[in-house]
């Protein structure tokens, strides 16, 4: 017996994917591109099940469920919510017993069919119940997170390929896709999984890594601070502090006024990065860098010298141990290159 | 569809450019901004239903949250008419404005400021009406401005996309235009000559009567020769620290090289601008900066002379 399935999704790509997935199955798909259209179709069609996208152009999936629950003709139709934000979404649909399953994006055709069949069978046998979502393997969750993060970039890939000039294609693509913001997001997503795996393997190490009590109110992962010694407080130091505060990981900026204080503060606070303005004091700054590089306790410290463009890039600074010499005004992405690896440590 | 406030203005040349807006899906405030900018460009805003009878230079539409493809109707209309496409995206973008498809499609994030939105529309209507001295290329937008005949900066762009702007410091000096070609050749000859020789040649060419801003053809490097700290040359970008930096003090008759980055705008000016919110405005891009400069000037003649080169 062929059953009617209503698909409420504004994405033409998703609709096409679902249509292809259902080919050859005893399910007849009907498509609605907006919430209002979906509510209207559901009442007129009384389908066996509804596949509902969480985000719609005119309303959310929750709004649609509320409308369907208020109508006697539609309140018992089982609903499967398609969403990328699985855990958070589940809580929002708690008040609606008709919501029987959540289909994570991206889905596979066999999984989609199995879930739809299960939802319809539950209604037929009168045993509809909210299934307990199986705890997914961390590797699978990591893969899904990566896909979600990169999806926007991947969608733009055809146009980016056209726009690319001749030359080495991999670095160009990486530059366009793996922007610091995307990489930062990936790391923020993966960090809890990493912690989970680490906890399973070596619980004692996690106890050691418990954040300081001051981080209790900040849910973001807290990482080692950044030490900055730059006299330009208003235009450089404070905007940098703001940017650090906006990152997915919490990272404090420690401002040091005098160059001779940098060594002491660095040894005490163990930052991941030291940023020093070396304009008009190259020799002094080189001496500080050499002292820090000689300290075995600071072996993974990153050091950047900042200079006004007119100074050029004195080779002394790199020889003294700086990882990079950046010209002002500094491109923020250049700094991110040093903060992102530090997030992993 | 009511089009209040969108009365078209016919340009002095007679031909009115058309801008078609998908008014059903656009916010009213956005449509109002579009109308205001189009009026200055001597362009007429038309609703989507009049598409068939128009030949628009620009089509403005929207991308809903999660929408990953350009709506087919917009794409077809843009392709059939050779129009540029501006899409307001409900999704956050990596940068406030992202050009794609070789600069023909421009995405702007819903979170972008009004000044950024107006500036982006202005960029896309370069060369039209009041924006006659502005030019749009796939990766670069340029503008020269100021009172006519005085300190007119000159721009030279070659087929490879490299841009050279020559900015005269002396109001009576008329060499900017003729010497811009030679300055461009000197700036581009990175393989054949070293920096010292480049500096000597530029000094011979301009002395201290003009400055030069050059953007390499791959938009990866700025080269500046700016032998006067009296005239500001600002490097502005929200992706830099500081977001606004006057390089004039640093240049001091040397040739400066700086890594370039998308969103960078280099602005050369005949006087320091008295803008109320210079930092945020500069962060909104060169066109927004120019808008603000024009808005705060008592009259058009009091706008300082200047040149802007911006990487899209």
Q: What is the per-residue pLDDT for A132? A: 41
How large is the average pLDDT for residues A45-56? 88
Rounded to a whole number, what is the distance in Å from the CA of B42 to chain A's nearest CA?
31
Given a cut of 60, whether residue A226 has pLDDT beyond it is: yes
Structure tokens belonging to residue A93: 């649909």
- Whether residue A310 and residue B261 make contact (CB cut-off 8 A), yes or no, is no
User: B171: how many CB neighbours lie within 10 A of its CB?
Assistant: 12
Residues of B in contact with A333 (CB under 8 A): 239, 261
Q: How far apart are the first and last CA of chain B?
A: 33
| Three-state DSSP state, B246 | strand
Strand A330-331 and strand B240-241: the pairing is antiparallel
CA distances from A183 to A187, A335, B175 (A): 6, 13, 48
| CA distances for A93 relative to A63, A88, A324, angstroms | 10, 9, 50
A55 and chain B: CB distance < 8 Å anywhere? yes
Distance from CA of A50 to the nearest CA of B (A): 20
- CA pair distance A80, A96, nearest whole angstrom: 11
Per CB-CB distance under 8 Å, the chain B contacts of A174 are none
The pairing of beta strand A302-308 with beta strand A330-331? unpaired
CA–CA distance, A176 with A209 (Å, rounded to integer): 34
**From the CB of residue A256, how many other CB atoms can be counted at a distance below 10 Å?**
20
Q: In this model, does residue A123 exceed pLDDT 60?
A: no
| A98 to chain B, closest Cα gap in Å | 25
Residues of A in contact with B239 (CB under 8 A): 331-333
Cα B209 from chain centre: 25
Q: How far apart, in Å, are the Cα atoms of B309 and each of A36, A120, A320, B137, B218? A: 47, 61, 37, 11, 14
- What is the mean pLDDT, run by run of 10 residues, along chain B of 312 residues? 31 68 88 93 92 92 84 89 92 82 87 90 93 90 79 84 90 82 85 79 87 90 90 88 85 81 90 58 82 78 85 90
Chain B residues closer than 8 Å to A228 by CB:
none
A110-119, A258-267, A334-343, B202-211, range with greatest mean pLDDT: A258-267
Model confidence band, residue A127 (pLDDT cutoffs 50, 70, 90): very low
State both tokens at A164: 């690319």
**CB-closest option in B64, B241, B250 to A330:** B241
Using the predicted structure, report yes or no on whether residue A128 has a pLDDT greater than 60.
Answer: no
Q: H helices within chain B, ranges in order?
A: 28-40, 72-81, 114-124, 176-188, 195-206, 248-251, 278-283, 286-296
Which of B91, B241, B258 is nearest residue A309 as measured by Cβ atoms?
Answer: B258
Give the pLDDT band of residue A153 (cuts 50, 70, 90).
low
Instruction: From chain B, pick out residues whose CB is under 8 angstroms from the CB of A255.
Output: none
> Helices A61-69 and A35-45 sit at what angle, rounded to 10 degrees?
30
CA distance B175 to B168: 8
- Inter-chain CB pairs, A–B, below 8 Å: 83
Distance CA B103, CA B122 (A): 15
CA distance A159 to chain B (A): 5
Per-residue model confidence (pLDDT) at position B12: 37
Quick one: how far is CA A237 from the chain centroid?
27
**CB A310 to CB B218 under 8 A?**
no
pLDDT of residue A60: 84
Q: How far is A93 from A50, CA to CA, in rounded Å?
A: 14
CB contact under 8 A, B250 and A236: no
Q: Can you give the pLDDT at residue B164?
A: 94
pLDDT at A92: 78
Distance from CA of B240 to the nearest CA of A (A): 4
Q: What is the pLDDT of residue A311?
A: 66
Q: Which residues of B touch A330 (CB under 8 A)?
A: 240-241
pLDDT band, residue A177 (cuts 50/70/90): confident
Instruction: Check: CB of residue B141 under 8 Å from CB of residue B107.
Output: no
Q: Give the total residue count for chain A.
A: 345
Backbone φ, ψ for residue A44 (5° rounding): -80, -35
Tell me the average pLDDT across A147-152: 68
The per-residue pLDDT for A193 is 72
| CA nearest neighbour of B152 among B9, B305, B311 | B305
Residue A316 has pLDDT above 90, yes or no: no
Please check whether residue A297 touches B, CB under 8 A: no
Average pLDDT over residues A24-52: 88
Residues in chain B: 312
Q: Is A11 near chain B, with CB under 8 Å? A: yes
Q: Give the mean pLDDT of chain A.
A: 78
Query: Given pLDDT bands bounded at 50, 70 and 90, which one contains residue A245?
Result: confident
> Which of A:257-276 have CB within 8 Å of B?
none
CA distance A54 to A106: 13
Q: Which of A135, A104, A101 is nearest to A118 (CA)?
A: A101
* Chain A residues with beta carbon closer than 8 angstroms to that of B139: none
pLDDT of A230 higher than 70: yes
Could you report the per-residue pLDDT of A157-169, keeping only the tens digit for each? 666 676 666 666 7
The number of beta carbons lying within 10 Å of the beta carbon of residue A56 is 25
Contact state of A57 with B247 under an 8 Å Cβ cutoff: no
Q: How deeply is A257 buried, as exposed, middle or buried, from its count of CB atoms within 10 A (0-12, 13-18, 19+)?
A: exposed
**pLDDT score for A213:** 38
């Amino acid at each position: 017996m062929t059953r009617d399935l209503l698909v409420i999704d504004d994405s033409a790509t998703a609709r096409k994917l679902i249509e292809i997935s259902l080919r050859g199955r005893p399910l007849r798909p009907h498509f609605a591109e907006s919430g209002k259209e979906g509510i209207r179709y559901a009442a007129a069609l009384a389908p066996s099940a509804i596949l509902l996208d969480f985000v719609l152009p005119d309303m959310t999936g929750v709004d649609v469920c509320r409308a369907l629950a208020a109508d006697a003709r539609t309140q018992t139709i089982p609903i499967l919510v398609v969403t990328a934000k699985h855990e958070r979404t589940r809580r929002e649909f708690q008040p609606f017993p008709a919501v029987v399953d959540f289909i994570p994006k991206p889905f596979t055709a066999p999984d989609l069919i199995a879930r739809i069949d299960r939802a319809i069978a539950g209604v037929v046998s009168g045993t509809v119940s909210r299934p307990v979502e199986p705890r997914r393997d961390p590797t699978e969750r990591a893969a899904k997170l990566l896909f979600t993060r990169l999806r926007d970039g991947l969608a733009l890939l055809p146009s980016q390929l056209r726009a690319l000039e001749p030359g080495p294609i991999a670095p160009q693509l990486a530059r366009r896709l793996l922007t610091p913001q995307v990489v930062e997001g990936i790391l923020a997503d993966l960090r809890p999984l990493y912690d989970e795996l680490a906890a399973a393997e070596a619980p004692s190490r996690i106890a050691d890594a418990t954040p300081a009590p001051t981080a209790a109110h900040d849910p973001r992962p807290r990482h080692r601070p950044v030490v900055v010694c730059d006299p330009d407080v208003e235009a450089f130091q404070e905007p940098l502090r703001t940017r650090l505060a906006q990152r997915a990981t919490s990272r404090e900026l420690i401002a040091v006024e005098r160059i001779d204080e940098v060594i002491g503060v660095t040894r005490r606070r163990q930052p991941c990065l030291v940023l020093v303005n070396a304009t008009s004091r190259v020799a002094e700054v080189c001496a500080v860098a050499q002292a820090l590089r000689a300290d075995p306790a600071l072996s993974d410290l990153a050091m950047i010298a900042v200079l006004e463009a007119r100074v050029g890039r004195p080779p002394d600074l790199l020889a003294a141990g700086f990882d990079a010499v950046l010209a002002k005004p500094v491109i923020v992405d250049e700094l991110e290159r040093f903060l992102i690896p530090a997030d992993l440590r | 569809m009511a089009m209040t406030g969108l009365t078209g203005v016919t340009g002095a040349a007679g031909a009115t450019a058309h801008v078609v807006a998908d008014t059903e899906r656009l916010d009213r405030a956005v449509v109002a901004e579009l109308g205001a900018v189009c009026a200055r460009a001597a362009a007429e805003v038309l609703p989507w239903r009049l598409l068939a009878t128009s030949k628009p230079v620009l089509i403005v539409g929207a991308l809903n949250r999660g929408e990953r493809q350009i709506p087919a109707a917009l794409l077809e209309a843009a392709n059939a008419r050779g129009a540029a496409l501006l899409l307001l995206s409900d999704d956050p973008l990596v940068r406030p404005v992202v050009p794609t498809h070789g600069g023909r499609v421009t995405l702007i994030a819903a979170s972008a400021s009004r000044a950024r939105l107006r500036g982006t529309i202005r960029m896309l209507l370069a060369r039209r009406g009041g924006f006659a001295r502005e030019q749009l290329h796939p990766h670069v937008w340029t503008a020269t401005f100021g009172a006519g005949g005085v300190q007119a900066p000159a721009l030279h762009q070659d087929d490879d996309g490299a841009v050279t702007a020559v900015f005269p410091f002396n109001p009576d000096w008329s060499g900017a235009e003729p010497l811009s070609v030679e300055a461009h050749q000197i700036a581009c000859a990175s393989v054949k000559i070293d920096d010292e020789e480049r500096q000597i040649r530029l000094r011979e060419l301009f002395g201290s009567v003009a400055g030069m801003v050059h953007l390499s053809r791959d938009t990866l490097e700025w080269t500046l020769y700016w032998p006067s700290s009296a005239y500001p040359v600002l490097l502005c970008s929200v992706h830099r620290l500081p977001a606004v930096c006057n390089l004039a003090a640093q240049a001091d008759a040397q040739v400066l090289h700086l890594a370039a980055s998308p969103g960078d705008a280099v602005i050369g000016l005949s006087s320091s601008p008295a803008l109320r919110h210079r930092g945020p405005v500069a962060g909104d891009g060169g066109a927004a900066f120019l808008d603000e400069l024009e808005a705060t000037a008592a009259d058009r003649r009091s706008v300082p002379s200047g040149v802007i080169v911006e990487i899209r």
